[in-house]
């Protein structure tokens, strides 16, 4: 059963935005950039409309390269083994809506490049916050049954091809939270995240990165989930 949640609060702080913009720990933006970040943050809060939908489905089979979830088949030799100890999969979709995205486009059209880049970064931080919120919800649900929760994965991670969005979107009704999938498997609004979270008594908390030899990957995760 698909569940839709609308009452989500995505709290964003300035430091997170600065980190997304590339400011390393201990390095601060110039006073001018800092002021623009503040003004864009103030405006962004009215533009962000967090929503989430998810379905908890039984895992019916896992092998070295495929994960079968109640009629759906996902293919990835790196990610599939991670779900071997899971009994359920949480298929999820989150978004902040399209208002902020349209604002970014207007700012760019007006030639306000800095404001546009900062607003876009705020949107990226915000949608990650919504995904974190959904993951916390899953952990709370799992805890009531004494289950463990693994990493969340999205099409495009590791060797999980982006075209697998089509399989994942067989679960989601585009009217539920207003996210559509293009023919190129791009979600619209862009500030949206979809994926799978494993749940189960023997669910591993190891990252799929341990199956990959690409040590210099910028998104490489630590060995164990929090």
Measured CA to CA, the distance from residue 225 to residue 85 in angstroms comes to 15
The domain of 76 spans 3-211
CATH number at residue 24: 3.40.109.40
Per-residue pLDDT of the chain (226 residues; tens, 9 = 90+): 899 999 898 889 999 999 999 998 878 899 999 999 999 999 999 999 999 999 999 999 999 999 999 999 999 998 888 898 899 999 999 999 999 999 999 999 999 999 999 999 999 999 999 999 999 999 999 999 999 999 899 999 888 999 999 999 999 977 789 999 999 999 999 999 999 999 999 887 766 565 555 555 545 555 444 4
Number of domains in the chain: 1
Closest CA to 195 of 100, 19, 72, 13: 72
- Which single residue is written with the structure tokens 């950039």? 33
Dihedral sign, Cα of residue 163, residue 166, residue 171, residue 173: positive
Alpha-carbon distance 170 to 31, whole Å? 47
Least Cα distance to 49 among 5, 99, 13, 15 occurs for 99
In a domain, 226, yes or no: no
- Residue 62 Rama label (left phi>0; alpha psi -120 to 50; beta): beta
The structure's pTM equals 0.90
Residue 217 lies in a domain: no
Residues in the chain, overall count: 226
Residue 84 lies in a domain: yes
Residue 109, in any domain of the structure: yes
């Amino acid at each position: 059963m698909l569940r839709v949640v609308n009452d989500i609060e995505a709290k964003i702080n300035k430091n997170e935005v600065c980190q997304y913009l590339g400011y390393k720990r201990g390095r601060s933006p110039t006073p001018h950039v800092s002021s623009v970040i503040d003004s864009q943050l103030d405006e962004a809060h009215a533009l962000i409309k967090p929503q989430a939908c998810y379905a908890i489905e039984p895992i019916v089979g896992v092998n070295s390269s495929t994960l079968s979830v109640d009629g759906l088949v996902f293919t990835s030799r790196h990610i599939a083994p991670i779900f071997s100890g899971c009994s359920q999969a949480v298929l999820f979709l989150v978004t902040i809506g399209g208002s902020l995205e349209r604002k970014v486009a207007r700012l760019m059209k007006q030639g306000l490049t800095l404001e546009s880049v900062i607003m876009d970064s705020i949107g990226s931080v915000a949608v990650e916050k919504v995904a974190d919120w959904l993951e916390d919800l899953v952990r709370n649900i799992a805890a009531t049954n004494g289950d463990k929760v693994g990493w969340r994965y999205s099409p495009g991670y590791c060797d999980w091809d982006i075209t697998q969005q089509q399989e994942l979107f067989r679960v989601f009704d585009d009217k539920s939270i207003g996210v559509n999938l293009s023919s190129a498997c791009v979600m619209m609004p862009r500030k949206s995240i979809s994926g799978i979270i494993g749940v189960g008594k023997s669910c591993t908390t190891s990252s799929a990165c341990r199956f990959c030899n690409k040590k210099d990957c910028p998104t490489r995760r630590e060995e164990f989930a929090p």
